[in-house]
Amino acid sequence: MKVKLSLLLICIALISCKNKKEIQLPKAAFSVLTAVEDHSPIYLFFKKKGLDTLVVVNRKNAISSTHWIFSVDKRLPMRLVVLQLQLLQAKKASSAHKSETAQNYFAYANDSLKALAFTPFTNTTYQLVNKAKLPINQLLWVTKSGELQWQGNLVTYKQLALECQSKPNQIQLAFDGSMSFEMYLTSKINLDRLLASQLMTTEWVVIGGDRVRSSK
């Protein structure tokens, strides 16, 4: 099935899910992909229970032999999202009916075009790590607010791209686990556009907070 919908139709489709749950999709200004054929939907809903934030997963219509499109509520923190991603990726990989060509995608809204878009993450492996164990000068750290820290200093996307072009190497990404899924996705899309060939496929989601120590 090909997906190419207006934001109005997207909202109607998501709100019409079981129990009238609603997903607020993250937004970005660039479309990585505009259509995905032969797919199954996976929904990660946002829920508050007292002071706690919970993830409610709906994957009843997921077929292992198809592409999976993950619609993740933008308000969910990455430390919770990553646990579900690890579980669902493992379930699909271990299925006897899986297809070797089936991919996993995140859905998001291209705010400028008012249309649905997708970005793949099939080859991404997520790991939860403690911030105290991170080698701060050997990774690219993305803070809760989306700032970039490279080799102990805050940098812009442009500065990072120029530096990495002059000194090409593999870059380990580490994301603050308390950042929202929307901040994660917009940061990752921007980084992919600049440094796709240099980014390692394993991404660290860090529990414990911000590690910024200095700035340029």
| Mean pLDDT within 72-80 | 97
Q: What does the chain come to in residues?
A: 216
Q: Which residue has the higher pLDDT, 165 or 5?
A: 165
Q: Considering only CA atoms, give the Rg of the chain.
A: 17
Count H helices, E strands: the chain? 4, 12
pLDDT at 1: 43
pLDDT over 70 percentage in the chain: 86
Check pLDDT > 60 for residue 105: yes
pTM of the model: 0.86
pLDDT at 133: 76
Q: Are strands 52-58 and 125-130 parallel, antiparallel or unpaired?
A: unpaired
What are the distances in angstroms from CA 157 to CA 55, 125, 203, 215?
31, 23, 18, 14
DSSP for residue 142: E
Q: What residue type is assigned to position 211 of the chain? A: R
pLDDT at 16: 45
| Mean pLDDT within 63-90 | 95
Task: Provide the Cα torsion 8, 13, 17, 23; round to 10°.
Answer: -50
Tell which residue, 15, 9, 23, 29, has the closest CA to residue 117: 29
78-87, 94-103, 183-192: the lowest-pLDDT one: 94-103
Q: Model confidence over 7-16: pLDDT tens digits?
A: 444 443 454 4
| Mean pLDDT within 158-177 | 88
19-23, 135-139, 150-154: the lowest-pLDDT one: 135-139
pLDDT at 96: 86
CA distance 39 to 105: 10
